[in-house]
Amino acid sequence: MTIRGNTRLIAHIGYPTHTFKAPMVFNPYFEHAGIDAVVVPMGCQAAPYPAFLKAVFSLTNIVGALITMPHKVATVALLDDTSAAVKIAGSCNAVRRAADGRLQGDLFDGEGFVRGIRRKGFKVEGARALVVGTGGVGAAIAASLAHADVGSLTLFDVNAESATRLGERLHHHYPQLRVSTGSNDPAGHDLVVNATPLGMKDGDPLPVDVARLAPETFVGEVVMKDEMTAFLKQAAARGCRYQVGTDMLFEQIPAYLEFFGLPSTTPEELRALAKISY
Amino acid sequence: MTIRGNTRLIAHIGYPTHTFKAPMVFNPYFEHAGIDAVVVPMGCQAAPYPAFLKAVFSLTNIVGALITMPHKVATVALLDDTSAAVKIAGSCNAVRRAADGRLQGDLFDGEGFVRGIRRKGFKVEGARALVVGTGGVGAAIAASLAHADVGSLTLFDVNAESATRLGERLHHHYPQLRVSTGSNDPAGHDLVVNATPLGMKDGDPLPVDVARLAPETFVGEVVMKDEMTAFLKQAAARGCRYQVGTDMLFEQIPAYLEFFGLPSTTPEELRALAKISY
């Protein structure tokens, strides 16, 4: 990769930066595809972030920004336009500047999840979905499922109020959607998503009672620590189709590329080119 | 070059960016030497520049900034500490953040010039020097010659007031230095520097009367359009030793590396690795 004067920038903003993976995913693709752009890690703490976000979008060669911890929530209030996914999840991980100078934000975790299960043959429209865990990533997945015309959503979180509030925000944006909260029973669902951190540590309990998972149920995972978490292994053993955590990651990259107006590609090519392994 | 989360940034700030060369000089060296840092072009216009400079130095992985047109003069007023070269030339092309958070500025055009002629065997200490052209680069060279204990300085510019004012600033910082202005006669000088743009265009007049150049005089050039400008060709034909314009460029890179606290190298290695040719 040769960086030249006119190379366009995607600012990858967060702190700490040592866990950033986007540079090793986007940049090898840009080099391979001859796209004169580069993702640059910019370590920024909370206090200077509002001023930095504004300043970095004053650059003439900025394409957009990837926003990560701890700024995904704070970003929402700094933008001119936000997508429904941002409003529902209350967080934002992608920012661009429109031609008129307005800062626009979107959130692609959930979009990546939905693209992935669709490409694996799961029909989202009308499906009965259970999302366990209504923190940032769970809310993003719920919002994207709603946007993709899921039939009903069951939301569960150990913090019951979190699930209730997410249900209210979903209802506000998608009044026709059936939303219920309070149970993590996977029975009767076409799609069951683990959006909790359970599976990050050895010995974690499972997010749902897998004995009540039907073999026809499609199972999705957000934990990326292992390709096959204990939850996925047990679901697969019951005959369930499934999606692993890193699929959500690679499926969302094309959505970012489209958002930034850059030539896009497949998750498979991105994964093959990436200078990281999972 | 693989950019990772902890890769350190050198912001190359100016506008327009298409003429930027530093990324193609620094980055191949960083890759070759295994230094996890990258020079990133950041196109910034005058109005947002003060806020952007402050904001970019709030980043946790910033090493420093290379400042170019149109910000080299405006930068001076934005810093906490400036070198004598910055104060004399009234411009700044390198900024770093000290451990206590203070922004420090320096100017390395003149330093590069002086390092180059020294490495070619020219003894600066006590020498009688003529600098023709007292704009930004001429002032920088004059300041660095003064810092390097040149014996006397003759300054000439078609704008006589510019030469006079530079002489006053030099006298303020180096009261022992003999400074005179008003003549571009090269006779009687050990060092003659063209710091004007003459030589950029075919048919430009020569900056001095080469018929009055002694063969013992060392001649320096800042114009980079051709390796051997008409001025250098005629001086060489008279037997003068000389330094070409791009030598000043590559000689100053080690000074930047030292300023930023990065491992340094020789101008020869930098030139061999650079992804640009002159």
> Per the CB < 8 Å rule, is A56 touching B52?
yes
Mean pLDDT (whole number) for A128-157: 97
Task: Please state whether beta strands A94-97 and A103-106 pair in parallel, antiparallel, or not at all (unpaired).
Answer: antiparallel
Contact A134, A195 (CB under 8 A): yes
User: Which of the two residues, B226 and B251, has the higher pLDDT score?
Assistant: B251
**Which whole number is the average pLDDT over B158-177?**
96
Question: Computed over its alpha carbons, how large is the radius of gyration of chain A?
Answer: 19
What per-residue confidence (pLDDT) applies to A225? 83
Flag whether residue A32 sits within 8 Å of chain B, measured between CB atoms: no
pTM of the model: 0.91
In 3D, which of A41, A32, A23 has the Cα closest to residue A1?
A: A32
- Predicted confidence at residue B276, as pLDDT, reads 79
Pairing label, strands B191-194, B218-221: parallel
Binary contact (A59, B44; C-beta < 8 A): yes
* pLDDT value for B69: 92
User: Which chain B residue's Cα is nearest to A7?
Assistant: B41
Sign (positive or negative) of CA dihedral B171, B174, B175, B176 = negative
**Structure confidence at residue A11 (pLDDT):** 98
Is the distance from CB of B95 to CB of B104 less than 8 angstroms?
Answer: yes
Residues of A in contact with B7 (CB under 8 A): 23, 41
- Give per-residue pLDDT as tens, A220-256: 999 988 889 999 999 999 999 999 999 998 999 999 9
CA atoms of B35 and B65, how far apart (whole Å) = 17
Decide if B26 touches A, using CB distance below 8 A.
Answer: no
- Whether residue B254 is predicted with pLDDT greater than 70 in this model: the reply is yes
Bridge partner list, A64 = A10
DSSP structural state of residue A179: E
CB of A276 within 8 Å of any CB in chain B?
A: no
Q: Comparing C-alpha atoms, which of B257, B10, B13 is closest to residue B115?
A: B257
Q: What is the pLDDT of residue B277?
A: 67
Phi/psi for B82 (5° steps) reads -135, 150
The residue among A25, A42, A63, A71 with the most chain B CBs within 10 A of its CB, best to mutate, is: A42
pLDDT for the residue numbered A277: 66
Which pLDDT score is estimated for A1?
80
Q: pLDDT-based confidence at B278, cuts 50/70/90?
A: low
- Residue A20, token pair as written in the block: 């950033």
Cβ contact A58–B38 (<8 Å): no
Task: Report the residue of A8, A59, A277 to disrupt the B interface, i.e. the one with the largest count of B CBs within 10 Å.
Answer: A59
| CA B94/CA B97 separation, integer angstroms | 11
Q: Which of B6, B38, B41 sits opposite A61 (nearest CB)?
A: B41
What tokens were used for B121? 């065997």
- Neighboring chain A residues of B31 at a CB cutoff of 8 Å: none
A145 in Cβ contact with A131 (< 8 Å): yes
- Cα separation, A22 vs A66, in Å, equals 8
Tokens of A233: 């292994």
Across the A:B interface, residue pairs with CB atoms under 8 Å apart total: 121
**ω before A263 within 30° of 0 (cis)?**
no
Q: How far from A193 is each of A234, A248, B204, B230, CA to CA, in Å?
A: 14, 12, 73, 74
SS3 for chain B, per residue? CCCCCCCEEEEEEECCCCCCCHHHHHHHHHHHHCCCEEEEEEECCCCCHHHHHHHHCCCCCEEEEEECCCCCCHHHHHCCEECHHHHHHCCCCEEEECCCCCEEEECCHHHHHHHHHHHCCCCCECCEEEEECCCHHHHHHHHHHHHCCECEEEEECCCHHHHHHHHHHHHHHCCCCEEEECCCCCCCCCEEEECCCCCCCCCCCCCCCHHHCCCCCEEEECCCCCCCCHHHHHHHHCCCCEECHHHHHHHHHHHHHHHCCCCCCCHHHHHHHCCCCC
Is pLDDT of A278 > 70? no
Please indicate whether, in this complex, the C-beta atoms of A5 and B56 are within 8 angstroms of each other: no
